[in-house]
Amino acid sequence: MARLEELTRSASVKGILPNQNVTVVDVVWHGSNVVELTYKDQSGRLGSELLYRDREPTLEVVDAGRVWSFESDGALFRLVSEAYRIRLAYLFDPVLAVHTSLVEPLPHQITGVYGEMLNRQPLRFLLADDPGAGKTIMAGLLIKELIVRGDLQRCLIVCPGMLVEQWQDELDRRFHLPFEIMTNDKLEAARSGNWFSENPLAICRLDKLFARDLPEMLAWLHRACFRPVPGKLRKLPRHAISLSALGYRAARDSQSAETRSRRPRSQHP
C-alpha cells in the first residue's frame, strides 16, 4: 500500500498499469484527496490518470530495478526452457518417434516413413504391403512424428469394425497415442453436439459411418476440422490423416491424407 503523498517524481510505482511498473513524471494535486498523475510506461509512452484515496491499497512504490536481472523464479525458467527444448527435439533427432515409442522398426519401415512419406508435403500417400508387413507400425510412426513436429492436430482413422480395438491398442501401447473409438452412445452424449470436435484423435468403424447418414457425418467432420474466424473460415494446418477411401473423402481438403494397402516404393531406381 502506498499513500498518494508518496507518489513523487521519478518514483517507480506498481498498480497503475497491469503487469508492469510506471515511472512518475509529474504529480498535480486537486484538493487533498485527488492527484493527477503523469507517468511513463516501460515502452516510454506517456499517460495520465486521476487517482483518489480509494486507490491507495492497490498502489505500491518500488525501487527501480535493473533492465536485466536474475530475480525471477529459476525453477519456472527451467521448466519453460525444458518444454521448449522438447518441442524442438525433432531438429536434433531425425527419428524421434522411433526413440520415444515401444517399437523396433524394420529397415523398409524406416525408409517408407522417413525417406518417402515425411518428405512429401502436402501428403497424399498410398501405404501398401502384404498382411503382417507392419503397415500399422508405419502409420503409427508417421502419426507420432507429425504430432511431435507440430504438423498434426487432428487425426481420423477409418478401418473395418473388427480392427478398431486392435488399432486403438497398438497405437496406445506402442506409441502412447490416446485414440478414442466412435460409438453411437458417444455421438449422442457429446456435450458440444459434435463428437469429432471434442476428440482430436479418433477411430471410426467403416460400417458405422455408412450406417449413419453419410452427408451428416461428413458435415460433422468438416465442422471439426475448421475453426470459425470472423468473415472467413480458417483451415487447421495438416489436421487429419485418414486411412481409408471414406476417410480420404472426409479429409480431401486437408494437407495430409493417407490410404494404406501396399509398401511404398521409391521413385528412384
The enclosing domain of 146 has a CATH number of 3.40.50.10810
Among residues 197, 139, 132, the alpha carbon closest in space to that of 168 is found at: 139
Tell me if 27 is assigned to some domain. yes
User: Which residue matches cell numbers 522411433?
Assistant: 98
Domain final position from 62, 77, 104: 62
Among residues 61, 52, 57, the alpha carbon closest in space to that of 30 is found at: 52
Do 91 and 21 reside in the same domain of the chain? no
Tell me if 76 is assigned to some domain. no
Q: Which three cell numbers stand for residue 163?
A: 480392427
Do 42 and 125 reside in the same domain of the chain? no
Per-residue pLDDT of the chain (269 residues), as tens digits, is 788 888 888 888 888 888 888 888 888 998 888 999 899 888 888 999 899 988 888 888 886 444 455 667 888 889 999 988 888 887 888 888 888 888 888 888 888 888 888 887 666 667 777 777 788 898 899 999 888 888 888 888 888 888 899 999 999 999 999 999 988 888 888 888 888 888 999 998 888 777 665 566 666 666 655 544 444 444 443 333 333 334 444 444 444 545 454 444 444 43
Do 181 and 108 reside in the same domain of the chain? yes
Within 10 Å of residue 41's Cβ, how many Cβ atoms? 14
Do 158 and 249 reside in the same domain of the chain? yes
Dist CA 236 CA 246 (whole Å)? 20
Tell me if 226 is assigned to some domain. yes
Q: What residue numbers bound the domain in which 125 lies?
A: 86-261
> Cα 112 to chain center, whole Å?
26
Provide the pLDDT for residue 8.
Answer: 83
Residues contacting residue 181 through CB under 8 Å, at least 6 positions apart = 164, 165, 168, 202, 203, 204, 205
Do 58 and 95 reside in the same domain of the chain? no
Dist CA 250 CA 258 (whole Å)? 11
**Coil vs helix vs strand at 249:** helix
Do 104 and 23 reside in the same domain of the chain? no
Q: Which three cell numbers stand for residue 177?
A: 497415442
Q: Which three cell numbers stand for residue 146?
A: 507429425
Do 100 and 30 reside in the same domain of the chain? no
Residue 159 near residue 167 (C-beta atoms within 8 A): yes
* Model pTM score: 0.55
Tell me if 186 is assigned to some domain. yes
Q: Which three cell numbers stand for residue 113?
A: 516413413
Provide the pLDDT for residue 267.
Answer: 44
Dist CA 162 CA 159 (whole Å)? 8
Letter string b/e over residues 84-93, b meaning 16 or more CB atoms within 10 A of that residue's CB: eeeeeebeee
What is the number of domains present in the chain? 2
CA distances from 190 to 2, 215, 261 (A): 52, 19, 33
Q: How many residues does the chain have?
A: 269
Do 28 and 143 reside in the same domain of the chain? no
Dist CA 74 CA 57 (whole Å)? 30
